Amino acid sequence: LDMIVRSLRAGHPASVAIALVAREMPDPLGTEFGIVSDEITFGLSLENAVRKLSQRVGYEGLHLLSVSLSIQSKTGGNLTEILSNLSSVLRERQKLRLKIRALSAEGRMSAWIISLFPVAMFIILQFAAPAYYGNVWNNPIITPVFLIFGAWALLGDFVIYRMVNFDF
C-alpha cells in the first residue's frame, strides 16, 4: 500500500501505481498485482479488479482495500489519504497482533508444560523405578481411572489452548 500511496502522491494514476507494484514486488504479491493491472488494462474497474484480488487471495487487508476503494469511488475523496490511513491501520493491527502474541507466550508455554509434565513424570518413573507402581496395574479400576484423568487433562489442555490462542 505504501508503494501505491507514494506513486499516487507523485501524480501517477491508480492503474500506473498498481502496475508499479506488480513490477517492483516479489512473487506472489507481484504476480497478483500484475493480474490486477492486466484486468484494469482490459477494461475492468479498479474497484472490481481489487475485489477479485481480495477474493482470490483471502487476505483481510486486501478486503479492507477493496471496501475502501468501493467507498471512495461512490463518495469521492482523496484516494491517497484513504490508502495512507488504511496502510497505517494495517501496520498498527500487525503490531498489536505481535504484541498480543508476545504477551500470551507465557500462557502458551505454561500450557505445554502443564500438559506434558504428568506424562513425562510417568515415563521417567516407569524407566527409573519400574516396580514403583507395583500391583496397581493389576487392579481392574485403574483403566477407567486413567481414562477419566486423561479426559480431564485433555479438557484442561483444550481450555488453556482456547484461553491463549484466539482470533483477533
- The answer to whether 86 and 64 are in contact (CB under 8 A) is yes
Cell 496502510 identifies what position? 87
Structure confidence at residue 15 as a pLDDT band (50, 70, 90): confident
* For residue 168, pLDDT beyond 70: no
Look at the alpha carbons of 80, 84, 87, 89 in this order and tell me if their dihedral is positive or negative. negative
- Strand, helix or coil at 58? coil
Q: Mind listing the pLDDT tens digit for each residue in 94-137?
A: 999 899 888 888 888 888 888 889 889 988 988 898 888 777 87
Whole-angstrom Cα distance, residue 40 to residue 20?
A: 13
pTM value is 0.67
Q: At what angle do helices 29-41 and 46-57 cross, to 10 degrees?
A: 150
Q: Where are the domains of the chain?
A: 2-100, 104-164
Q: Which residue is it, cell 493480474?
A: 35
Supply the pLDDT for residue 166: 67
Residue 155 has pLDDT above 70, yes or no: yes
All three cell numbers of 145: 481411572
Task: Say whether 167 sits in a helix, a strand or coil.
Answer: coil
SS3 1: coil
Whether 164 has a pLDDT exceeding 80, the answer reads no
Question: How sure is the predictor about 73, in pLDDT bands with cuts at 50, 70 and 90?
Answer: confident
Q: What is the pLDDT of residue 49?
A: 92
Residue-wise pLDDT for 31-63, tens only, equals: 999 999 999 999 998 889 999 999 998 888 889
